[in-house]
Amino acid sequence: MKKIAIFASGEGSNAESIVNYFRTPGSHAEVALIVTNRPDAPVINRAERLGVDYAVITRAELNDGVTILNLLDRYAIDIVVLAGFLLMIPCGLIERYRGRIVNIHPSLLPKFGGKGMYGNRVHEAVVAAGERLTGITIHHVNEHYDDGAIIFQASIEVDPTDTPADVARKVRQLELTHFAPTIAQTFL
């Protein structure tokens, strides 16, 4: 049974979707831990409701080279999944999990990626640019923001009347549909 840790800083809708996906009978993986850097993140409420262990870590603990690695070792984590985690992943963690750490970004990278491009800012930029298409990118994580090898992309039309909130809703649906199966197909 492969063990997954999910890193999230916000709502946790992707985290919940992934937890449930791997709780289906015959699954070969489980979400053993949810890690967040925000003590008030709604993902914590989801973890409690789902009965998944969670840990709140500070930026200092993420970057001290020991705390986060010991935590993941304690849960025998095989795969790290970033789902709306807003801190840069330190090199030591990328080194230890190279090839086993993935991220989801709410645009068709390389468009609308990079530092500072997250959440609604992405959808606002897509609408402002008059894009006719947007989507999601699931990719391996390396030392640069949103730059690792792309594993999967799915796209959706942007209508001229779409607001950033409309785009966010469409993209969210793609995320909840594709992230968990892509993790399974990539690692299991």
Q: Which residues bind ligand GRF (CB under 6 A)?
A: 8, 10-15, 83-84, 104-106, 119, 175
Residue 139 annotated among the catalytic residues of the structure: no
Q: Is 135 helix (H, G, I), strand (E, B) or coil?
A: strand
CB of 101 to ligand GRF, least distance (A): 14
CB of 5 to ligand GRF, least distance (A): 15
Number of alpha carbons in the 13 Å side-chain half-sphere of residue 106: 26
Of the pair 68, 167, the CB lying nearest ligand GRF is at 167
- Cβ-closest position to ligand GRF: 84
Q: One-letter amino acid identity for 103?
A: N
Of the pair 8, 44, the CB lying nearest ligand GRF is at 8
Pairing between strand 133-140 and 150-157?
Answer: antiparallel
CA distance 34 to 122: 24
CB of 84 to ligand GRF, least distance (A): 3
Pairing between strand 101-105 and 79-82?
Answer: parallel
CA distance to 19, 78, 188, per residue, from 106 (Å): 20, 24, 24
Of the pair 10, 148, the CB lying nearest ligand GRF is at 10
Active site residues: 105
